[in-house]
Amino acid sequence: MENQDNKLQDKLVRQFADFEKNWNGSVSEHFRNLRKEAIHHFGRMGFPTTRQESWKYTNIKPATANAYESAVDPPEPISRDAIAPYLLPETCRLVFVNGQFQPDLSEIPELSAQMVVQPLSRAFKEHPELLEEHFARYGKYEGSSLTALNTAYADGGTFIYIPDQTISEHPVHLIYLTDGRSGHRISYPRNLVVAGKNSQVKLIETSASTGGEACFVNAVNEVRVMDHAHVEWFKVQEENLLDFHVDHAFVNQDQNSYCKIHTVTTGSAITRNDLNITLNGSGCETHLYGLYWLGSKQHVDNHTLIDHARANSYSNELYKGIMDGQSTGVFNGKVMVRQDAQKTNAFQSNKNILLSDEATINAKPELEIYADDVKCSHGATSGQLDEQSLFYLKSRGIDPGKAAALLTFAFASEVLEHISVEPLKQYLSEKIQQRTGIAW
């Protein structure tokens, strides 16, 4: 396996030269250097291994065992039906297949003044100054070789810019489809979101696949939330069970800003989500919600880091997991409170239900606190459905299977109810209901 690891690593480093040629001077010196340094860094670090503390519970080797190719150009045609299940009404929609933008499947309505929603590849040409200011400024690749790999190759993805005092009318819906029909594919979605002062935006990010061979998605997201801005972001991960999904997100919040992130994971063989939230200003508010329901041999690893750098901020985290089959769930939530961050309130909770004898939960909620006037707490639990509640339902004449389904749905609902985009909430509720395996 070690060899295959290196094989893929060498191949990706080698191919960078070809990739670079395609840019042909169309990009500024700044980005060319950035990418070169990033690939160099990846070449040095290689893929993470379980010997690293942050990858202790997640072995990524199965994901690096395939000989992935980048997307072919032009991409294979994809029918509208492939994305039909994921469509939501009244959104500004961008569809990508293996990281390549699909104008035919996308639908971008008329946007508020000066708001920008466009593929990143175009933004590099049309808004170089904005990109220079923000791209790779929040997502530092030094600490993560996969972020470095993405930084080197990133061109598929979305650039969203909401000017000061602007409220985005429609939620922006990004659909990332992986298409493994003609072989193993690797893609590097990269989203950059800049929310100006007093702006508001809602984002929905759907990751799905068409099936075929195993694919590897190595995504990086950067979000800057300026003063008093309000960003809500919903990540829905439902790729098929062969795929691998790694997602690093870096959010920087300025003072008095608000950010809420939902991560719902039901797909992929291995999913790894890293949310890094830095609260650079005082008076910030951050909410992180997570829901994962896995079966068979699936593996999900949710890492969150909330870094309270300034005073008077509030963060709240709720992650819930339902583990079936031989699946493994990992939760590593870290709250960091720096010395200046007095009057911080930080809460974190991770609750898990194990449905099968062979499922595993590894939880590691961490607190690292250097300020004294704070209120921080975390809790983690693992268990089964409450017997008393089950008994109560059964005593009301509900059969045991349905009672269990009802309680499982209720367990998941605690996360879903915070979703503010109604059609998405509906969609996910139905999906969870289906998963409980009974007719509602």
Partner 1 sequence: MTEEDKILEEFTRSEYKYGFTSNIEQELLSKGLSEETVRFISAKKDEPEWLLEWRLKAFRHWQTLREPKWPKVEYPPIDFQDISYYAEPKEKKKLDSLDDLDPEIRSTYEKLGIPLEEQKMLAGVAVDAVLDSVSVATTFKETLAEKGVIFCSMSEAVQNHPELVRKNIGSVVPYTDNFYAALNSAVFSDGSFCYIPAGVRCPMELSTYFRINAANTGQFERTLIVAEEGSYVSYLEGCTAPMRDENQLHAAVVELVAHKDSEIKYSTVQNWYPGDKDGKGGIYNFVTKRGICKGDRAKISWTQVETGSAITWKYPSVILKGDHSIGEFYSVAVTNNYQQADTGTKMIHLGQNTKSRIVSKGISAGKSNNSYRGLVKISRKARNARNFSQCDSLLMGDQCGAHTFPYLEVSHPSAIVEHEATTSKIGEDVLFYCQQRGINEEDSVALIVNGYCKEVLNNLPMEFAVEAQKLLAISLEGSVG
Give the residues lining the site for partner 1 (CB under 8 A): 53, 339, 342, 352, 354-384
Using a 10 angstrom Cβ sphere, with 0-12 exposed, 13-18 middle and 19 or more buried, the burial of residue 126 is exposed
Rounded to a whole number of angstroms, the minimum distance from the CB of residue 308 to partner 1 is: 12
Nearest approach, Cβ of 354 to partner 1 (angstroms)? 4
Asked if 277 and 308 touch (Cβ cutoff 8 Å), the reply is: no
Residue with tokens 């005092």: 165
Q: How far is the CB of 110 from partner 1 (least distance, A)?
A: 49
Cα separation, 256 vs 249, in Å, equals 20
Decide whether 65 or 369 has the Cβ nearer to partner 1.
369
R_g over Cα of the chain: 21
Smallest distance from partner 1 to CB 296, Å: 16
CB of 316 to partner 1, least distance (A): 15
Nearer to partner 1, 40 or 364 (CB): 364
Among residues 368 and 399, whose Cβ is nearest to partner 1? 368
Q: Is-contact 153 19, C-beta < 8 A?
A: yes
CB of 372 closer than 8 Å to CB of 339: no
Measured torsion, CA atoms of residues 246, 427, 100, 38, in degrees rounded to the nearest 10: -20
Least spacing, CB of residue 384 vs partner 1, in Å: 6
Q: Which of 207, 327 has the CB closer to partner 1?
A: 327
- CB of 58 or CB of 166, closer to partner 1: 58
Minimum CB–partner distance for residue 272 and partner 1 (Å):
18
Residues 6+ apart with CB under 8 A from 206: 86, 173, 174, 175, 176, 236, 238
Q: How many Å separate Cα 300 from the centre of its chain?
A: 12
- Whichever of 58 and 210 has its CB closer to partner 1, that residue is 58
Burial class (CB in 10 A: 0-12, 13-18, 19+), 394: middle
| Residue with smaller CB distance to partner 1, 382 or 413 | 382
Q: CA of 81: how far to CAs of 87, 105, 215, in Å? A: 10, 10, 20
Instruction: Kindly tell me which of 190 and 320 has the beta carbon lying closer to partner 1.
Output: 320
| End-to-end Cα spacing for the chain | 46
Least distance to partner 1, CB of residue 343, Å: 11
Q: Are strands 172-180 and 185-187 parallel, antiparallel or unpaired?
A: unpaired
